[in-house]
Amino acid sequence: MKKLSLTLLMAVAVVGSAFAGTEAKSFKEKVVVEPTCKFRANELQVDAFAAGLWYNGGRPAWGGGLGVNYFFTQHIGIGVEQDVVGRNNERAEWATIGNLFLRYPICSLNLAPYAVVGGGGSYGSGRSGHGFGHVGGGLEYRVTDNIGLFSDARWVYSSQDPRSGLIGRAGLRFAF
């Protein structure tokens, strides 16, 4: 009986020391998924918006437009838009505009403030066409990966009277 007790004691000591210092490994690895940013590089956007135009000393004009933008990087993009605005008793005024966008996405909030600079030509209202430039800023909120709401304001510098004014836009942005 002494031999059996001694053998069992030695077996427990050997087996116990064999597992000493080893760690049990779990085969379930935790993978941390980083949230993706809804504002991407190489992004094509289509805008549909309402617009209001306030010239210095003039009555406001209301209208809207369509635009197409392309972002080469997450921060830099270009765009072109066609606007039409009109006043009560006057013919509509059309504008074709080119833009450069600089945006700073805040991915955790799905929000992107941006600056815009550009220019173009305006025609209609019984006048010959004239050129203008603008500078402004705006804010875009992405509801989904491909649909956003935006609003911006731009100060317009014109070569004809009225020489300056403010244009505000708000609308939907579809990103592809």
**pLDDT on residue 116:** 98
Q: How confident is the model at residue 61 (pLDDT cuts 50, 70, 90)?
A: confident
Block residue for tokens 């911006």: 152
pLDDT digits (tens, 9 = 90+) for 106-135: 999 999 999 999 999 988 766 667 889 999
DSSP H or E stretch at residue 128: strand 127-142
CB 175 within 8 A of CB 149: no
Please determine, for residue 70, whether its predicted confidence score (pLDDT) is greater than 90. yes
Spans of all domains in the chain: 43-175
Pick the CATH number of 43-175 from 2.40.160.20, 2.30.42.10, 3.40.50.12780, 1.10.10.10: 2.40.160.20
pTM of the predicted model, to two decimals? 0.76
CA distance 113 to 139: 4
CA distance 118 to 131: 11
**pLDDT on residue 34:** 73
Closest to 132 (Cα-Cα) out of 161, 171, 100: 161
Q: How confident is the model at residue 91 (pLDDT cuts 50, 70, 90)?
A: confident
Q: Is 115 left (phi over 0), alpha (psi -120 to 50) or beta?
A: beta
Cα distances (angstroms) measured from residue 4 to each of 1, 11, 14, 17, 110: 5, 10, 15, 20, 72
